[in-house]
């Protein structure tokens, strides 16, 4: 699946082994870009819990979205 890097805007191929953009090292899997995340209530349907808005927009290496196996970017749904 392809995902656009939120920082450098380059399209990257994302698989289970890729967590960051190879060009700028930004985490590619953001909750706000996933179809399973409800922005209105800041809730992830995959992990069945609320996700902080800051973490949803700017994930770290320890965020749930970084290595989420069921991450689905909204553009590929």
Q: How confident is the model at residue 77 (pLDDT cuts 50, 70, 90)?
A: very low
Q: Which of 3, 23, 30 is nearest to 14 (CA)?
A: 3
pLDDT computed for residue 69 by the predictor? 85
**Is the model's pLDDT at 11 over the cut of 50?**
yes
**Is the model's pLDDT at 76 over the cut of 80?**
no
Query: Has this prediction a pTM greater than 0.75?
Result: yes
Per-residue pLDDT tens over the stretch 14-60:
777 788 898 999 998 899 989 999 999 999 999 999 999 999 999 99
């Amino acid at each position: 699946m392809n995902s656009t890097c939120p920082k450098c805007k380059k399209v990257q191929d994302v698989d289970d082994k890729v967590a960051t953009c190879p060009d700028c090292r930004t985490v590619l899997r953001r909750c706000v870009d996933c179809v399973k995340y409800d922005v209105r209530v800041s809730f992830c349907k995959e992990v069945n819990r609320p996700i902080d808005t800051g973490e949803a927009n700017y994930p770290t290496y320890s965020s749930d979205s970084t290595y989420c196996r069921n991450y689905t970017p909204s553009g590929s749904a």
